[in-house]
């Protein structure tokens, strides 16, 4: 199927379900069923089995017609992390059950990975899942969980075998966030809001039919999620001067009285960095069209974090005394991060988390060193030690 055939499919969809007279959710469901949701997915799962780069053909046609989108920022974890994992490792029944309401936004997803004692070293996690007939009983604590307070489902990694080394004793599940034993508590952040949560799992029962991948292969499945997460964070499609660099450049133009040679040089260097990263992200998305994301996504996420923090710091300086103001300390429970819709003070504080979320910058440097540059691995004394015997 080529671009013109896709346009024809879009016209058929708009004829049968015109956005002006069709309910938003009904339109999104019809779009999914027409194979125009994510065009690179299989034909019976919202796609057309065509290259990923043709997605823009569909999106542009629908945007021109005033069609609603699926609020991608609100359901980013489902779209960017859960869906690719379900597509690759899910059973046919799981794909049919979860992908459609995930894409339409009817069911929001979150990610139950990090724990108080297993953040940078995810494989050290201690949340236990014990088999009980056709179910698994899960007990433990997760932390830094975005969107847990609005999520219907979660992707969850738990330890199912403590007697083997840590990377080999984990299993990957889909967890019903509305089920008994799931307790979500807000975590107030430096910004004043509670975007993240801690989640306590107390005897939560998960049917074995909600397991993704084989028992004990949770680390393998999780790698698909993590690689897609890093691309989702650092590989956005942006126009020139899109995102934070555009705001900072605008501040520079509006305040000539604050300009100094030193600030000018910093802005120019960061503008060039932003443009290089934008072009690299375009190249990365082109590579994704032919397969699964690789370790290159780690480089994009690392660069994104560094750039965001440097730009937000420069913006505060360019804003002068206004850079010391903070627009709202009210405790919020946002459904998504609104970096561009808030003030410089908020952006400066929120950007500090960019080098932690989605994999710390220190861990990403190791991944780049070992898997991209081919450098020797760091010594790992716990590689062949059973998880239960590791010091904690």
pLDDT at 287: 64
pLDDT at 195: 85
Q: Where do the domains of the chain lie, and which CATH numbers do they carry? A: 1-69 (no CATH), 222-372 (1.20.140.10)
Residues of the chain with pLDDT > 70: what percent?
95
Global pTM value:
0.86
CB neighbours of 372 closer than 8 A, spacing ≥ 6? 295, 296, 298, 299
Between 52-56, 75-79, 289-293, 343-347, the lowest mean confidence (pLDDT) is in 289-293
β-bridge mates for residue 155, sequence order: 111, 174
Mean pLDDT for 113-142 is 93
pLDDT at 285: 67
Q: Which of 115, 102, 122, 2 is nearest to 46 (CA)?
A: 102
Active site amino acids? 229
Q: Which of 43, 106, 113 is nearest to 78 (CA)?
A: 106
Q: Using pLDDT thresholds of 50, 70 and 90, give the confidence band for residue 85.
A: very high
Q: Using pLDDT thresholds of 50, 70 and 90, give the confidence band for residue 89.
A: very high
User: Does residue 105 have a pLDDT over 70?
Assistant: yes
Write the pLDDT tens digit of every residue in 150-170.
999 999 999 999 999 999 999
Write the pLDDT tens digit of every residue in 218-227.
999 998 898 7
pLDDT at 297: 74
């Amino acid at each position: 199927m080529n671009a013109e055939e896709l346009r024809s499919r879009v016209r058929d969809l708009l004829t049968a379900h015109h956005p002006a007279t069709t309910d938003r959710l009904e339109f999104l469901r019809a779009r999914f069923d027409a194979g125009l949701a994510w065009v690179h997915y299989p034909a019976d799962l919202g796609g057309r089995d065509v290259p990923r780069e043709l997605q823009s053909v569909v999106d542009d046609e629908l945007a021109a017609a005033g069609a609603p989108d699926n609020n991608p920022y609100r359901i980013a974890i489902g779209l960017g992390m859960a869906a690719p994992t379900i597509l690759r490792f899910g059973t046919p029944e799981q794909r049919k059950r979860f992908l459609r309401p995930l894409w339409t936004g009817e069911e929001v997803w979150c990610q139950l990975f990090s724990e108080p004692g297993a953040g940078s070293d995810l494989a050290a996690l201690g949340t236990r899942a014990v088999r009980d007939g056709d179910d698994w009983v899960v007990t433990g604590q997760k932390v830094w969980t975005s969107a847990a307070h609005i999520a219907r489902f979660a992707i969850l990694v738990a330890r199912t075998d403590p007697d083997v080394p840590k990377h080999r004793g984990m299993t990957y599940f889909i967890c019903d966030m509305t089920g008994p034993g799931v307790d979500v508590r807000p975590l107030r952040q430096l910004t004043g809001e509670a975007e993240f949560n801690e989640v306590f799992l107390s005897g939560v029962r998960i049917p074995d039919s909600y397991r993704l991948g084989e028992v004990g292969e949770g680390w393998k499945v999780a790698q698909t999620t993590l690689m897609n997460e890093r691309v989702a964070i650092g590989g956005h499609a942006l126009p020139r001067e899109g995102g934070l660099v555009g705001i900072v450049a605008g501040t520079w133009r509006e305040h000539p009285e604050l300009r100094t040679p030193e600030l000018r040089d910093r802005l120019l260097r960061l503008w060039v960095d932003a443009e290089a990263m934008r072009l690299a992200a375009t190249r990365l998305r082109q590579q994704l069209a032919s397969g699964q994301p690789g370790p290159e996504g780690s480089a994009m996420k690392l660069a994104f974090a560094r750039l965001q923090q440097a730009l937000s710091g420069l913006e505060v300086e360019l804003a002068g005394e206004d850079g010391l103001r903070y627009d709202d300390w009210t405790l919020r429970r946002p459904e998504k991060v609104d970096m561009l819709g808030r003030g410089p003070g908020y952006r400066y504080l929120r950007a500090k988390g960019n080098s932690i979320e989605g994999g710390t910058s220190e861990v990403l440097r190791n991944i780049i060193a070992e898997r991209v540059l081919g450098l020797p691995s760091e010594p790992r004394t716990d590689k062949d030690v059973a998880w239960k015997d590791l010091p904690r």
